Amino acid sequence: MLLMITFPISGWFALKIVPTYERMIVFRLGRIRTPQGPGMVLLLPFIDSFQRVDLRTRAFNVPPCKLASKDGAVLSVGADVQFRIWDPVLSVMTVKDLNTAARMTAQNAMTQALLRRSLRDIQMEKLKISEQLLLEINDVTRAWGLEVDRVELAVEAVLQPPQDSVAGPGLDSPLQQLILHFLGGGMSAMAGGALPPGPDTVEMVNEAEPPIGAGPGSKQPVAEGLLTALQPSLSEALVSQVGACYQFNVILSSGTQSTYFLDLTTGQGRVGCGVPDGIPDVVVEMAEADLRALMCRELRPLGAYMSGRLKVKGDLAVAMKLEAVLRALK
């Protein structure tokens, strides 16, 4: 009766127009009613609350992110997703922020799908991967009243080629020559072969000590030699940039584990065998061959972590600062 008496004024608050492409979800005293519309909908002031739901097809993009493929390549990959709401009630009742939830679901599905494939498979089977992502995303989002109609995978760039296609590093600095010296002499040792000495071959020999491997039990571990080669690159500028202490648990080719440390917290920094004096900020565990690949710039910390070759205990952001240490080797 009150509504009828005050109709000229209350009509602005009680009558709502719902377009064909929308539905109105009405809560009366907190209880949800069946979706209203299209057309004119009568609401009871101070009793009903409502929320509009758009049924038209919409789209969002998964921002490009760095991913590591099965063969160790690092890619910048994104996706475009088109979706629509098929059940207005579920879209309101089951999830608070539908767009954010759908975007995170799409990003997780894309990451899991690409980690299981090589770079060649990703480039050759983009349509097949997109169809698989469509099914996997819909398995999750249909319970929210949302259905994905189309997924388009977009490979923005290849940031790092696969590990099996990386050419051997050149001897472009004395420090890299020192690293290769610890590996047993030259690029051929890294490739698993040996080149016969020629007229242009230079053999590095320490006259004060016998050559590595000259006697039984005198061979220095590759990991120890690699980390010792970091010493000339340490500086106060590097300490200021990184400011962290690292402990390296290196799995040697014999199956044993050796521990080394890199302290970039004071002075010009220190590197050596054993555990650091204080508590390390990050503990890194990796195989000796992967450490060699990092030092020779065949492998980047992010790619090693994403492919499972680098295990990190501690702050991941601090562990990724090892990239600055590797840049200092140039």
Comparing CA positions, the residue from 203, 224, 87, 80 lying closest to residue 145 is 87
Can you tell me which residue has the tokens 């099965």? Answer: 70
Cα–Cα distance measured from residue 55 to residue 38, given in angstroms and rounded to the nearest whole number: 11
What is the model's pLDDT at position 5? 59
What is the model's pLDDT at position 63? 87
Comparing CA positions, the residue from 56, 101, 49, 111 lying closest to residue 78 is 111
What is the DSSP secondary structure assignment for residue 307, as one 8-state letter? Answer: T
Q: For the chain, report the end-to-end CA distance as a whole number of angstroms.
A: 85
What is the model's pLDDT at position 323? 82
How would you classify the pairing of strands 31-32 and 22-28? antiparallel
Query: 3-state secondary structure string, 165-204?
Result: HCCCCCCCCHHHHHHHHHCCCCHHHHCCCCCCCCCCCCCC
What is the model's pLDDT at position 301? 82
Mean pLDDT, consecutive 10-residue segments, the chain of 330 residues?
56 79 91 89 86 92 86 88 93 90 91 87 89 93 93 86 54 46 42 43 43 44 69 84 89 85 88 87 88 80 80 84 78
What is the model's pLDDT at position 1? 52
Enumerate the β-bridge partners of residue 24: 36, 52
What is the model's pLDDT at position 164? 55
